[in-house]
Amino acid sequence: MLGIEIAILSDKGGRSYNEDACGHWHSDRHLCCVLADGAGGHGGGDVASRLAVETLIGAFADTPTDDGQALAGLVWATNERLLEHRASDKRLRDMHTTVVCLVLDFVDATAHWSHVGDSRLYWFRDGRLHDRTLDHSLVQSLINAGVLAPEQAREHPRRSELQSALGTRPEDLQVGASGGHVEVQAGDAFLLCSDGLWEFVGDEAMEHALGLASSPSAWLEVLEQQVREATRNRASHDNFSAVAVWLVEPLDEAASGADEAAVDDADGDPGLPLLED
């Protein structure tokens, strides 16, 4: 059984309030982490992101998934819940949110994930970026078409235009997912983050900070500092949030006792759902 360490960061940035939300839940076998970045008038973004996190975590807790496609099914169901909520309150008719969800099976040492929009999942192995999700955005479509180089994405004037988000009609919704599940190992690290963070922290900076960090919370502290430094002279900048997950060596059950939790949560009590915004 792998050990797992978690840290969470969520900050309103240069805005008056925070429309990001993130949370996690775990059982004796699974960890489910969700991050969402909401938008919409009259506080709708805040409502959308929290509703997405709560709904998706609750759905997974009721019916744990084994692969990315099954998790994507829960994301589709979460979209239906947002559409129902929008229809019940005309003040929320414009609300929508991105979402990214990671599931770890720390008994079988596997992972799978799903996402919508431009909130990202990064997977690091041996201190280097191993894989990440691709945004549902105009800029990513330009990269896919070979019109735009990846390094130009962070500075593109239309970088915030999404092609999919929760709160979208089903016929227009795009949901990304890992094809099945992938094998993970001690030393792997995952980062779920909103665009308010990755826009200002490049892949190499994430790797460098990871290599110097002694814990997930220390890693996030460095990333937070980098966002603040990059936005120091900006009148306003976006909320930024992240969930950092480290896989560590298996617990020594002989030394620690068979009842010790597999998850070390730096931001809440083990075994309990956690939601932050």
Which pLDDT tens digit goes with each residue over 51-74? Answer: 999 999 999 999 999 999 999 999
What is the structure's pLDDT at 17? Answer: 84
Number of neighbouring beta carbons within 10 Å of residue 40: 22
Lowest mean pLDDT among 132-141, 151-160, 177-186: 151-160
For residues 29 and 15, the answer to whether their CB atoms sit within 8 Å is no
Asked if pLDDT for residue 255 goes beyond 90, the answer is no
pLDDT band at 111 (very low <50, low <70, confident <90, very high): very high
Output the DSSP codes for the chain: --EEEEEEEEE-TTSSS--EEEEEEE-SSEEEEEEEEEE-TTTHHHHHHHHHHHHHHHHHHHS--SSHHHHHHHHHHHHHHHHHHHHH-GGGTT-EEEEEEEEEETTTTEEEEEEETT-EEEEEETTEEEEE----BHHHHHHHTTSS-GGGGGG-TTTT-BS--BTS-GGG---EE-SS-EE--TT-EEEEE-HHHHTTS-HHHHHHHHHH-SSHHHHHHHHHHHHHHHTTT-S----EEEEEEEEESPP-HHHH-TTS-SEEETTS-TTS-EEE-
Provide mean pLDDT across the span 231-241: 87
What is the structure's pLDDT at 269? Answer: 36
For residues 86 and 79, the answer to whether their CB atoms sit within 8 Å is no
Asked if pLDDT for residue 158 goes beyond 80, the answer is no
pLDDT band at 254 (very low <50, low <70, confident <90, very high): very low
Lowest mean pLDDT among 142-146, 193-197, 217-221: 142-146
* Stronger pLDDT, 257 or 2, i.e. the higher one: 2
Asked if pLDDT for residue 271 goes beyond 50, the answer is no
For residues 71 and 177, the answer to whether their CB atoms sit within 8 Å is yes
- The first and second tokens of residue 30, run together, are 């699974």
Asked if pLDDT for residue 115 goes beyond 50, the answer is yes
Lowest mean pLDDT among 146-150, 186-190, 267-271: 267-271
| % of the chain residues with pLDDT over 70 | 89
- The first and second tokens of residue 170, run together, are 């089903």
- The first and second tokens of residue 96, run together, are 């929508």
For residues 104 and 182, the answer to whether their CB atoms sit within 8 Å is no
Mean pLDDT of the chain: 88
What is the structure's pLDDT at 218? Answer: 98
What is the structure's pLDDT at 252? Answer: 59
Fold of 3-276: Phosphatase 2c; domain 1 (3.60.40)
Q: The pTM is what?
A: 0.90
Lowest mean pLDDT among 11-25, 204-218, 249-263: 249-263
pLDDT band at 270 (very low <50, low <70, confident <90, very high): very low
Number of neighbouring beta carbons within 10 Å of residue 25: 20
What is the structure's pLDDT at 272? Answer: 38
Angle at 114 between CA 191 and CA 73, to 5 degrees: 155
pLDDT band at 15 (very low <50, low <70, confident <90, very high): confident
pLDDT band at 258 (very low <50, low <70, confident <90, very high): very low
pLDDT band at 164 (very low <50, low <70, confident <90, very high): very high
What is the structure's pLDDT at 141? Answer: 85
Q: 174 to each of 67, 70, 134, 256, 271, how far by Cα in Å?
A: 18, 15, 12, 44, 32
What is the structure's pLDDT at 274? Answer: 47
| % of the chain residues with pLDDT over 90 | 70
